[in-house]
């Protein structure tokens, strides 16, 4: 599904982090963003759909149709885990369509969902630089900064780095075992129904938040690399300026002047004299 990318995105940062200088240098020197696990976000409901197990009857019917009565396990995997031929035949018998095989598949799909969520690291951005609330929450009372990124259209090589919009919902998405099966199978098949289910499932697991957060107009980039939280390169996002918060100190301004490349524009937020509104001036 195509999306309309904004021309620019913004990332609010606190200057009180002990890694602030390192992050600025990696941002502007290497186009890297620090990504953290979904479970590390400030909302415990972030990307937490309701997952129901499908019935054993429905799963068993699916297995009979999909495997024609054969074992649900891959033969190569069976040979690896059961090198003894006699033990392998016993395992194959247990994993033929039936209650045990259905329970095994349900458990495996739940583990897949947990694993997918746990290995996904994200970096959060916004369409807005002028949110009074976000300056208050994420930059310690407007003392921090906001990094402005120019968003480039993805190429074939960078399509997986494309920012995705967060989906704000009043109710948590409901998923079942068949949704999780579609997520696993979507890399192997071209079936539209499977792809649509997988997209809905993936969105619920990494892009869904309560409608209470809608004012943030959030976008996310992600990495599913088997690596710990840290810096990941996102070529589609070009950092072009730094915006100082309304309460940023002279010390912060001087620090940025020392560590930023000369080409980077520095701007300053100023408060409106008569309205709840923020303005920008060049520094």
- pLDDT tens string 138-156: 999 999 999 999 999 987 6
Please indicate whether residue 89 or residue 95 has the higher confidence score (pLDDT).
89
User: Which residue reads 């969902």 in tokens?
Assistant: 113
Whole-angstrom Cα distance, residue 247 to residue 255?
A: 15
pLDDT of residue 75: 61
State the Cα–Cα distance between residues 63 and 57, nearest whole angstrom: 10
- pLDDT of 78 above 80: no
Task: Compare 226 and 282 and report the one with higher pLDDT.
Answer: 282
Are 219 and 163 in contact by the 8 Å Cβ rule? The answer is yes
Alpha carbon 148 to its chain centroid, in Å, reads 20
Q: Which H or E run contains 258?
A: helix 250-259
pLDDT at 68 over 80: no
**Element spanning 111, H or E:** helix 99-119
Q: Could you give the count of Cα atoms lying within 13 Å of 230 in the half-sphere of its Cβ?
A: 4
Tell whether the model's pLDDT for residue 73 goes beyond 70: no
Residue 214 exposure: Cα atoms within 13 Å on the Cβ side: 6
- The encoded tokens of residue 122 equal 């994200």
As a whole number of angstroms, the distance between CA 245 and CA 269 comes to 5
User: By the 8 A CB rule, do 234 and 32 touch?
Assistant: yes
Whether residue 267 has pLDDT greater than 80: yes
The number of beta carbons lying within 10 Å of the beta carbon of residue 44 is 7
pLDDT higher than 80, residue 277: yes
pLDDT at 119 > cutoff 60: yes
Helical (H) or strand (E) element with 58: helix 56-67
Spatial separation of the C-alpha atoms in residues 11 and 124, rounded to whole Å: 7
- State the average pLDDT over residues 91-111: 79
Banded model confidence at residue 19, pLDDT cuts 50, 70, 90:
very high
At residue 124, φ and ψ (nearest 5 deg) are -105, 135
Global pTM value: 0.85
What band does 26 get if pLDDT is binned at 50, 70 and 90?
very high
């Amino acid at each position: 599904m195509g999306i309309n990318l904004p021309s620019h995105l913004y990332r609010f940062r606190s200057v009180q982090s002990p890694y602030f200088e390192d992050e600025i240098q990696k941002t502007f020197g290497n186009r890297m963003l620090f990504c953290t696990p979904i479970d590390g976000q400030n909302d415990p409901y972030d990307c937490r759909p309701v997952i129901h197990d499908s019935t054993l009857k429905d799963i068993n019917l699916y297995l009979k149709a999909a495997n024609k009565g054969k074992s649900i396990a891959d033969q190569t995997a069976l040979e690896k885990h059961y090198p003894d031929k006699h033990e392998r035949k016993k395992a194959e018998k247990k994993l033929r369509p039936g209650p045990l095989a259905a329970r095994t598949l349900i458990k495996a799909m739940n583990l897949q969902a947990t694993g997918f969520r746990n290995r996904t690291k994200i970096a959060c951005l916004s369409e807005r630089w002028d949110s009074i609330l976000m300056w208050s929450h994420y930059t310690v009372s407007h003392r921090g900064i906001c990094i402005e990124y120019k968003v480039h259209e993805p190429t074939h090589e960078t399509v997986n780095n494309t920012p995705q919009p967060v989906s704000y919902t009043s109710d948590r998405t409901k998923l079942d075992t068949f949704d999780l099966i579609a997520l696993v199978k979507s890399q192997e098949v071209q079936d539209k129904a499977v792809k649509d289910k997988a997209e809905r499932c993936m969105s619920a697991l990494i892009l869904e938040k309560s409608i209470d957060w809608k004012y943030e107009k959030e976008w996310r980039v992600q990495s599913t690399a088997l690596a710990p939280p840290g810096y990941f390169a996102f070529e589609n996002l070009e950092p072009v300026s730094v915006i100082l918060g309304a309460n940023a100190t002279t010390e912060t301004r001087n620090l940025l002047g020392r560590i930023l490349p000369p080409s980077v524009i520095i701007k300053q937020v100023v408060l409106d004299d008569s309205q709840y509104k923020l303005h920008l001036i060049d520094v």
